[in-house]
Amino acid sequence: MPKLVVLNQGHHATIQDLGRHHCAQFGLSPGGVSDLHAHCWGQKLLGNPSTNASIEILLGRIKLRAIGDVDAVLTGADCRAINATRSIVLPQWQPFRLRDGEELHLSTPRQGLRTYLSVQGEFQIPPFLHSVATVERNQVGGLGEGKPLAIGDILNIADRAHTTPVKMPNSVIPRYTSSYRLRLIPTFQHHQLPSQAINEILTSQYRISANSNRMGIRLENENGSTSTSLPAVGSMISEGIVCGAVQLPPDGMPIILLQDRQTLGGYKKLGTVAFRDLARLGQLRPGDHIEFHLTNLEVERHKQRAFYQYFGL
């Protein structure tokens, strides 16, 4: 059975799959990959089902050694990976093979935040509530207790029946930039907010705060301030919240909720980031800029269905 041994865990690396569904009743976050586009393509390029787990690597720098031959692929942020044993550059968004004893080294990406390492076969990890997704705030998933990968960790890779790998069209390889316009689907609360608040948010450019993580992305003004001239929008009785929900806390600075979000929230919501832009959220890094603009629910629903059908979700 081939294995990957962690020689250097880099900045932060976790095991992630599609997430832990139907667990909100227990107060657990779903977790799961931050960039579904990169994850699903990584698995498809190897002929794996999208339900397989990937290693989600934050800002690169990880070093791994293969025990036995390992077929793998890197997607997401380009960390200029090399086979350090043979001193050769490895491709991004294309499968490659690590021979027994060879080492994979990643540098820091120039653009984007998260890189995904997928392997042909399946990481042999005991699931918790039908998922191996690492959720550190809940202390579940991964190799145990929701902990990120650490030096000396060993990932066993079990063979699994797979379909014929595919070649990825260049047209769907994302180009990560430092500025994005995010499509926003207005919620029913959108129309209850003061028009001044809506107009200001939709005409403002925000910067990603360093105080962001897998729970949510905090936004700040261009000067780094979290103060705003928005009128108070008040709170409400807590209700369930989804990935991409844009909350407006008392200070008026939007928070975009992500995979490790809490299950309930009592702040009013401007809307929800469209499904096709959720992958972009996973690649935003501190200092990047975003703007919001409204989109149509039916259009976004059609795009989401097409993605789900293509990857068998």
What is the predicted pLDDT for the residue at 162? 65
Alpha-carbon span 74 to 103, nearest angstrom: 14
pLDDT at site 263: 86
Q: Do 11 and 58 touch, CB atoms closer than 8 A?
A: yes
Q: How confident is the model over 61-118, as pLDDT tens digits?
A: 999 999 999 999 999 999 999 999 999 999 999 999 999 999 999 999 999 999 999 9
Which uninterrupted H or E stretch holds 297?
A: helix 297-311
The structural architecture, per CATH, of the domain 179-311 is Beta Barrel (2.40)
> Has residue 23 got a pLDDT over 90?
no
What DSSP element (H or E) covers 41?
A: helix 36-45
| Residue 60 confidence (pLDDT) above 90 | yes
Q: What's the Cα-to-Cα distance from 193 to each of 181, 196, 199, 268, rounded to whole Å?
A: 22, 8, 10, 8
Cβ-Cβ contacts under 8 Å for 140 (sequence gap 6 or more): 20, 28, 128, 129, 134, 146
Q: Which residues in the chain are classed under CATH 2.40.100.10?
A: 179-311
What is the helix, strand, coil percentage profile of the chain, to 5?
15, 30, 50
Q: What is the pLDDT of residues 225-270, one digit of tens each?
A: 555 555 556 667 778 889 999 998 888 889 999 999 988 887 888 8
Smallest Cα–Cα separation from 118: which of 153, 180, 75? Answer: 75
% of the chain beyond a pLDDT of 70: 95
Tokens 């791994």 correspond to 64
Q: What is the mean pLDDT of the chain?
A: 92
Can you give the pTM of this predicted structure? 0.94
- Which 8-state DSSP code applies to residue 131? B
C-beta neighbour count of 298 within 10 angstroms: 8
